[in-house]
């Protein structure tokens, strides 16, 4: 079962996908945000081309679990995406994912400019790995 993960931000969308067996995770090129319709269409095409059976969208809640302004934007985006694809779209708690992604990239020796280019992809990868680890 192929699963796609998204780390939706205001400027970029990090993307990661499993192999066809749903075992390994690969980061994909980050999508630059344009407008919601274009962003949704790019993801819809990716879901179709890669035969994705589930989309996991990182849900950026506050540390205490409360909604944030960004989590409300992401929920709205996920709702629009669900209307555009014929597969389930699942919100997944992503607290500390971007922080963890920054740490991993720093440990790999990347300078801050390189980390900035890769953090969204790494965050999407970590979201998907966490989702798979939980047995979903």
Task: Show the domains of the chain with their CATH numbers.
Answer: 3-133 (3.30.420.140)
Residue 3 pLDDT exceeds 90: yes
More confident residue, 87 or 127: 87
Torsion, Cα 118 119 123 124, to 10 degrees, reads: -40
For 4-16, how does the pLDDT look when each residue is reduced to its tens digit (9 = 90+)? 999 999 999 999 9
79-to-41, 51, 75, 101 alpha-carbon distances in Å: 14, 20, 6, 26
Query: What pTM was estimated for this model as a whole?
Result: 0.85
Residue 57 pLDDT exceeds 90: yes
Per-residue pLDDT, 70: 87
63 burial via Cβ count (<10 Å: 0-12, 13-18, 19+):
exposed
Measured CA to CA, the distance from residue 8 to residue 31 in angstroms comes to: 9
Cβ–Cβ under 8 Å, residues 25 and 125: yes
Measured CA to CA, the distance from residue 18 to residue 3 in angstroms comes to: 5
For 88-127, how does the pLDDT look when each residue is reduced to its tens digit (9 = 90+)? 999 998 866 666 555 665 666 656 565 566 667 888 998 9
125: enclosing H helix or E strand: helix 112-133
């Amino acid at each position: 079962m192929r699963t796609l993960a998204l780390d939706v931000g205001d400027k970029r969308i990090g993307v990661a996908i499993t192999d066809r067996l749903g075992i390994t995770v690969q980061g994909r090129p980050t999508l630059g945000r344009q407008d919601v319709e274009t962003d949704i269409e790019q993801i819809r095409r990716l879901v179709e081309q890669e035969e994705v059976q589930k989309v996991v969208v990182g849900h950026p809640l506050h540390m205490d679990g409360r909604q944030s302004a960004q989590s409300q934007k992401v929920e709205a985006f996920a709702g629009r995406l669900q209307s555009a694809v014929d597969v389930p779209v699942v919100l997944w708690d992503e607290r500390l994912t971007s922080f963890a992604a920054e740490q991993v990239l720093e440990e790999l020796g990347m300078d801050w400019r390189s980390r900035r280019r890769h953090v969204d992809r790494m965050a999407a990868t970590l979201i998907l790995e966490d989702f798979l680890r939980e047995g979903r």
